Amino acid sequence: MSNKMWGGRFSERPDAIMEEINVSIDVDRHLYAQDIAASKAHAAMLAAQGIITAGDAKNIGKGLDTILSEIDKGSFDFKRALEDIHMNVESRLSELIGPAAGRLHTARSRNDQVATDFRLYVRDTIDEVDAALAAFQKALVERALEHASTVMPGFTHLQTAQPVTFGHHLLAYVEMSARDRGRFADARKRLNESPLGAAALAGTSFPIDRAATAKALGFDRPMANSLDAVSDRDFVLETLSAAAITAVHLSRFAEEIVVWTSPLVGLVRLSDKFTTGSSIMPQKRNPDAAELVRAKTGRVIGALTALLIVMKGLPLAYQKDMQEDKQGAMEAFAALSLAIRAMTGMVRDLVPDEARMQAAAGEGYATATDLADWLVRTLRMPFREAHHVTGRIVALASERGIALHELPLQAMQEVEPKITADVLKVLSVESSVKSRTSYGGTAPRNVLSQAKAWAKRLEKERKWG
Ligand code: ARG
């Protein structure tokens, strides 16, 4: 028997291989809630416009509700021979309510149907990711409040650069996450238009009300061009781009956790909850969760790249290639969501070794810039000259194998006679961070007020959100 949805002109069944390459139900079954919601909105609109009877619309609505609960309960029998979610739902609807089911597809095509379903799905995903990122930010802010004045080494080139505070470091990720959330919000704004009613590609001759279905599904408006509506997947690409950038941010942080928890570095410890052991080396505490966050980034970037490549050669309008838009995106969103939750857990869990951080912050002549700044400020030396003088003083300390503040004043005066004992007070790591009071700088006072402002902002958002 040929396919009962589209097989009118067919006399043979598809080859098994045809069916295998064509079938998408294993992936698009995840769109069932959106598919049913869109069908209900469509049926109600068809009745309101007098295109189908109120009685048929009522039966269609009831039947769709039954199908929704069957799928929710896990009792729905998904059939591969029916290809995709749209035909599985419609076929079950006809079992439930008979021939009226066949009226649901009036003035609609699977092309506008799938575009609508997937927009709704991606919109839901954006809302979930946003909530997860907000929780991540909240965890970071809580730890930043706690560690606004905990001194740690700041790095450039992964070499000790200048002392910073741990809270300052954590707040850097709060800022990044805020921009990530902004990118998702932008994508959401642009995707929130309804393709429904574009039909196959050209629109329809039935007097449909696209604004009504758009409104019923929470879209801001119908899409203005039917060809565009069924054939672009830029909303997926844009959301995946936001996801990829977010994943890269998380990956950088994950990498830092891997470095910090290495026994060679030892700035941070994760509890048993976020580490794993080795089956052969009993001493091991591996930061697997952080490593996997780092690795999952590959999946997200991969999904973006794959879909860009799928789309790049497609003429308008719908092409079956576009069926490949869902699997990678769904996997990427799931990976991202898990990565955000894992990072949130680690942020709550990690324990900085404050003594080690403090000691490491002073290693590697991290306050050399403070010495140079003192020369500029107190002796009115041009910064370039101060840089040179400081370099010579660092070399002296390095030759003796001691820290800057351990170098006798006399030794410094051999390099620059005008240096006074006053310099000693800028050489400690505490005074270094304390002095960084420029806007956005690492001074504990700054960090505390930034952390408090973030806590307030996130709290307010939770109240209104
Ligand atoms: N399963 C299809 C997809 O995801 C639905 C649209 C099919 N349309 C068609 N003309 N074959 O893209």
For 334-382, write each residue's pLDDT tens digit. 999 999 999 999 999 999 999 999 999 988 898 999 999 999 999 999 9
CA of 320 to the centre of ligand 1 (A): 6
Residue 276 or residue 340, greater confidence: 340
**What is the rounded average pLDDT for all residues in the chain?**
95
pLDDT at 264: 95
- 403-446 pLDDT, tens per residue? 888 999 999 999 999 999 999 999 999 999 999 999 999 999 99
Number of H-type helices and E-type strands within the chain: 18, 6
Q: How confident is the model at residue 9 (pLDDT cuts 50, 70, 90)?
A: confident
CA of 113 to the centre of ligand 1 (A): 9
Coil, strand or helix at 277: coil
CA of 185 to the centre of ligand 1 (A): 28
CA of 423 to the centre of ligand 1 (A): 73
- 90-119: average pLDDT: 97
User: Which residue's CA is the nearest one to ligand 1's atom 2?
Assistant: 323
Instruction: Using the predicted structure, report yes or no on whether residue 1 has a pLDDT greater than 60.
Output: no
Instruction: Determine the distance from the C-alpha atom of residue 273 to the mean position of all C-alpha atoms in its chain, rounded to a whole number.
Output: 23
Does residue 24 line the site of ligand 1, with CB under 6 A?
A: yes
Instruction: Determine the distance from the C-alpha atom of residue 133 to the mean position of all C-alpha atoms in its chain, rounded to a whole number.
Output: 7
pLDDT at 2: 65
To the query of whether residue 157 is one of the catalytic residues in this protein, the response is yes
Residue among 75, 157, 205, 438 flagged as catalytic: 157
Q: Helices in 218-367 by DSSP H: which ranges?
A: 226-231, 234-261, 288-311, 326-349, 354-362
Share of the chain above pLDDT 70, in %: 99
Is 219 within 8 Å of 122 (Cβ atoms)? no
Residue among 69, 262, 278, 449 flagged as catalytic: 278
Return d(Cα 123, Cα 121) in angstroms, integer.
5
- 257-281: average pLDDT: 91
Instruction: Using the predicted structure, report yes or no on whether residue 14 has a pLDDT greater than 90.
Output: no
User: Which residue's CA is the nearest one to ligand 1's atom 12?
Assistant: 323
- 104-114 pLDDT, tens per residue? 999 999 999 99
Q: Which atom of ligand 1 is nearest to the CA of 118?
A: 4
pLDDT at 285: 83
- 281-312 pLDDT, tens per residue? 878 789 999 999 999 999 999 999 999 999 99
Rounded to two decimals, the pTM is: 0.94
Could you tell me the CA-to-CA distances from 48 to 56, 188, 210, 398, 418 in Å, in that order? 12, 29, 12, 84, 90
Share of the chain above pLDDT 90, in %: 91
Q: How confident is the model at residue 448 (pLDDT cuts 50, 70, 90)?
A: very high
pLDDT at 391: 96
- 211-235 pLDDT, tens per residue? 999 999 999 999 999 999 999 999 9
pLDDT at 363: 87
Is 365 within 8 Å of 397 (Cβ atoms)? yes
User: Which residue's CA is the nearest one to ligand 1's atom 4?
Assistant: 323
pLDDT at 118: 98
Is 365 within 8 Å of 433 (Cβ atoms)? no
Return d(Cα 249, Cα 262) in angstroms, integer.
20
Return d(Cα 189, Cα 186) in angstroms, integer.
5
To the query of whether residue 42 is one of the catalytic residues in this protein, the response is no
Is 178 within 8 Å of 457 (Cβ atoms)? no
Does residue 119 line the site of ligand 1, with CB under 6 A?
A: no
Coil, strand or helix at 424: helix
pLDDT at 465: 66
Instruction: Using the predicted structure, report yes or no on whether residue 176 has a pLDDT greater than 80.
Output: yes
